Every structure is written in structure tokens, then in C-alpha cells.
Structure 1
């Protein structure tokens, strides 16, 4: 009866004992993360399963685990974090850790998580007509043609209504070398995994699309320079904490270089993108996995 009740809930729920060994995993947890009960029950929550990270990129399963703290002091907690899907991409969630009284193990704790937190929620959405969406075939994201139309649309709005916007351009570090080692199929899988992370975590107040090869372009309306910098750091951190997970090959980690800038009144789309590329190159020169903002 307990399992039927837990499986009927939309939220993800799992239970650990006092040693953080997973003893229960409901259908909601399977739906959100892709992990089946047989994948996780009997393992420990710090066994690189969900790889919880916070907005600063700290790996909480190794240091600062909310479940572990609730086991120790028996106090409930709520946090906005990111978990890792079985396929490697990141998912923003709100989690609650709750001590269970009367369980077989008196130190048992449940974690309840929902997909209702978004990195860009503090940036206002600009309500305005936009070009017809054209998707990239590999990632399913908006393609370059669509992004160019949208950039011209934003520039027009800036000139007529003084509506501000900014862009963030990213590039996967050492992607050519990776492509030579792993081949085209896995390279495309990495692109899709990273695209999924980016759309899951930056989907409400902005647009992200595939610009060229392994480059992604974000367009943010109404973002200040400081907000743009924070968003760029979030994009870099979430990319770094994602990985392409596979049964037949070693997990493939990904880092990106980032250039971020706001639109300057009167300039062309080409001027804006050229400046973003220069900032991106500056991040590459610093060794990659870096953000440069101007």
C-alpha cells in the first residue's frame, strides 16, 4: 500500500537509511532522472548517481549533502539544486529532505524533488512577436537562421523602444580533439546532452540555440551586465557538471568557454557577434572552462 501511494505521486521520492543507502525509489524519481529502482536500490546516494550540485557548482553528495545533514540533526530542509539525469544532462529541481519517524531504521530520511526551479527566473521575459521557429536537426534547438532573425528582431526593438538585451556565446573546449577520438556519433550525442542541460535550466526567460558546429548562442532580454555575468557562470558551471554517460564507454566530461556581452545601441548584429567571439577567444586563451564578460 505504501509503495502504491508513493508511486502514484508526480514528485520524485527516494528513501535512504542512516548510512545513506537507498531503500526505496518511486516512479516519479524514475520519470525525472531516468534511473529505474533496480539501478539504485542498495546503492548509496553518494555513489555518483544524482550528483547534486548547487548554483555555485559545489558537489553536495561529497560535501554539504542535505540528506546527510537531516540524518544527523533530524531537521527538514528545502533547497534549489541541480541533479544529473541518467543520460548526463542537468535538471533544476527543488528538493525537500524529511526525517521519517517510525521507520524500520530510525535514521531513515526521504528526499522529495520536483522540477520547478529555473536559473533564469529572475530575468524578465520580453513579450513580443518573434520569427517562426526553425530547429537544428542534431540538437532540436533553434538553428542559426532562426537566431539571426531573432537578433535582428531584438535590434529593431532596441532602436524603436530602447529594449535592452544581451548575448552569451559558448564553445565546447577541445571539441575537435574529442571528435577525432570518439567519432561523429558520440560527438553528436555530446551535443544533444549539452543542449538538454541548457534547455532544462535556461528555458523560461531567454532563447538558446545552436549557432555553429559546437557553439551555442543565448539571447537574454532585459539582463543587466551583472545578471549576464551570473547567468554565464551558471551556464559554464552546469556544463562542467554534466557528462555523457554510457554503458560501453567511460563517462565523457564536457567544459565550455564563454563570451558574454550586451547590445550597444546603434551597432549591427555582426558587430555584436564579433565582440562575443573576441570574448569567447579570450576565455579560450585562459585555458577554457572560463567566462569573459564585457
Structure 2
């Protein structure tokens, strides 16, 4: 005879989970989760953290979270591991905290994550460490679909996984047509890695390729779904930024510039970084692709002449 538990039975027999069940749940969370002791030394790192950050547990457990691992940045691109760490503040105040930060990925680029931090306490209520749960809020899924489409059309740059020059030209022409028909504004960011030849000469083309890749990853991880970034050639990139005004275009240009500047790769214990110079311009009446790209290129070289690592614009 089939037995069905009634409400009284359920109240008497609450569901219980063994400790290993909790461990499996935590280990297999989609989100990243890690624990630190009072000195902010990482003591646990789950699979979600490995997937989002690129760092394996074996690479981070036993090390400080600020030891060239996560090095969170805030919206003003301040290094929160030096001052303003949400996890450290939570352990001091004993309170939950939420924040959106830019996390360092093992491959060098920055990814936007939403973090929730709290404290860990012993049975007497003494704080013994902290816990951070972080969620990837980048535009990865949209970019995966875009990459698949570009691969089908042979419009993908194989090294950076960005659109290639042929696709950039097609995208700009489409936006120009949209401008004529609907008067929808868009802008162009012409981006060039500073002193890239010198970097290649010093460290070799393999590391140069890694720099190109983490620069490109900064664009895709932190872009809006309807914007497009592509590799124009060599160390030059172009961003086609839709539905934007001059101030917004410069803001986005400075955002990607700061994210590249704050990105790095760790090579034989040495931190390697680069900067980019940017030219930013909005489409104007009578523009074609040649005039638009030429103007953005000229603005880029004004950034180079101004000392590099800056954005130059003609937007009023």
C-alpha cells in the first residue's frame, strides 16, 4: 500500500542534509565563491570561481586575494585591494555588503562581476574570516552568439575572436544607412595599443599575442550588447558604438582605456601591462566610411602626440 505523508508527518520529519551534501552544492554553484581567513588568505575556491576567473583552486588557495589574483577595481578604477576592499570592510564591520567591481581574469583582461560579501564567525560569534560570492555580469552569452555567426561568415579575427576588418566595414556601412533613414546617431572609437612594437621586441610575439587577446577581451566583456568591437589590423581596434551622444562616447572610450591600463599578465613573476590611445568621433552629416575612419584615425594620433593613454575627441 502506498504511503503519503501528511502535514503532521512532514512537521515531525524535516529534511536534513549531510555536510557532504552542502559541500557539493557549494562546489557546483554557477556563481564563484571563495573563503578567506582574517588575514584575507584564501582558504577555499569553488568550481564557479575557477570558471569565471580562469584561476584553478590550486593556484589561489593559500595566497592572499590581493596577491596579483583578483585585484578588484571600482567604477573609478581604484584598486580596492589597496583601499576599500568590500570583503575587508565587511569583516571589520560585521555586515553584509554588495558591490559591482571589475575582477582580474587569469588571461589578463577585466570582467565585471557583482559581489556579495559577508563574515564567517565561530560558535562564540568571533569573526574568523569572510566569504565572497561573485556573479559574472559581462556580455558573454551575446558575444558567444556573435562569434558563432562571424565564424560562419568568415568574418572573425582568429586571434582575438573579434570581428575582422571586413565585418567592421560592413557594420559601419549599415550604421551609416541607419543614420540616413532614421537619423540614429552612432560613434566610432579608434583604439591603438601604445608602444606595441617595442613590447613585441622585448617580450616576443607570443606574449604580444596574449596582450592583443586580453585587450580584445576587455572590449567584449564590458561592452553593451548592441555595440561592436573589431580588430582593424595589427594592434589597432575599432568600436562601433550605437545610440550614443558625444559625452557618452567619451565615457565609453575612457572606460575601455582604463580597463586596459589596469589589466595585466603575470610572466615569470613580472607584471606586464600596456595602455591604449583612443580617437572618438560621432557620425556627421555627409559622412561615409572613409571620412569617418579618417577622422577617428586623426584623433587617435592626437592622443599619441598628447602623450598616449588618453582619449581625444571632436565631440562638443
Query: Do these two structures clear the TM 0.5 threshold for a shared fold by scoring above it?
Result: yes
Aligned residue among 164, 169, 172 for 1:148: 169
1:212-251 alignment, distance < 5 Å: 212-246=233-267, 248=268, 250-251=270-271
Question: What is residue 165 of structure 1 aligned with on the other side?
Answer: 186
**Cα distance, 1:133–1:153 mapped onto 2, change above 3 Å:** farther
Aligned residue among 20, 25, 28 for 1:5: 25
Question: What is residue 42 of structure 1 aligned with on the other side?
Answer: 62
CA distance in 2, matches of 1:281, 1:157: 28
Aligned residue among 111, 114, 128 for 1:107: 128
Q: String of CA shifts for 1:88-129, please: whole Å, max 9, x gaps.
A: 1111110111123447962321111001256xxxxxxxxxxx
CA distance in 2, matches of 1:75, 1:106: 11
Mapped pair 1:293 → 2:313: yes
Contact 2:69/2:104 (<8 A) preserved:
yes
Any idea what SS the aligned residue of 1:245 has? strand
Aligned residue among 49, 56, 69 for 2:76: 56
Any idea what SS the aligned residue of 1:239 has? helix
CA distance in 2, matches of 1:156, 1:203: 21
**Cα distance, 1:5–1:222 mapped onto 2, change above 3 Å:** same
Question: What is residue 15 of structure 2 aligned with on the other side?
Answer: none
Compute the displacement of 1:26 (Å).
0.9
Structure (1 or 2) with the greater helix fraction: 2
Mark the runs of 5 or more structure 1 residues left unpaired by the alignment: 119-129
Contact 1:80/1:117 (<8 A) preserved:
no
Question: What is residue 184 of structure 1 aligned with on the other side?
Answer: 205
Compute the displacement of 1:203 (Å).
5.0
CA distance in 2, matches of 1:164, 1:133: 28
Question: What is residue 294 of structure 2 aligned with on the other side?
Answer: 274
Compute the displacement of 1:186 (Å).
2.0
Aligned residue among 209, 226, 229 for 1:205: 226
Q: How many residues align?
A: 282
Mapped pair 1:25 → 2:70: no
CA distance in 1, matches of 2:93, 2:269: 40
Instruction: Give the RMSD, CA atoms, in angstroms.
Output: 1.9
CA distance in 2, matches of 1:205, 1:245: 32
Contact 1:164/1:221 (<8 A) preserved:
yes
Contact 1:159/1:266 (<8 A) preserved:
no
Aligned residue among 91, 95, 110 for 1:90: 110
Q: String of CA shifts for 1:7-35, please: whole Å, max 9, x gaps.
A: 02111001112221211111111111111
CA distance in 1, matches of 2:214, 2:205: 14
**Cα distance, 1:133–1:96 mapped onto 2, change above 3 Å:** farther
**Cα distance, 1:89–1:103 mapped onto 2, change above 3 Å:** farther
Question: What is residue 215 of structure 2 aligned with on the other side?
Answer: 194
Compute the displacement of 1:249 (Å).
6.5
**Cα distance, 1:103–1:70 mapped onto 2, change above 3 Å:** farther
Q: Using CA pairs below 8 Å that are at least 6 residues apart, which structure has the higher relative contact order?
A: 1
Any idea what SS the aligned residue of 1:113 has? strand
Per mean C-alpha deviation after superposition, the further-off stretch among 206-215 and 48-57 is: 48-57
Any idea what SS the aligned residue of 1:95 has? strand
Q: Following TM superposition, where does structure 1 have runs of at least 4 consecutive aligned residues deviating by more than 6 angstroms?
A: none
Contact 1:94/1:117 (<8 A) preserved:
no
CA distance in 2, matches of 1:165, 1:114: 31
Using the size of structure 2 for normalisation, the TM-score is: 0.84
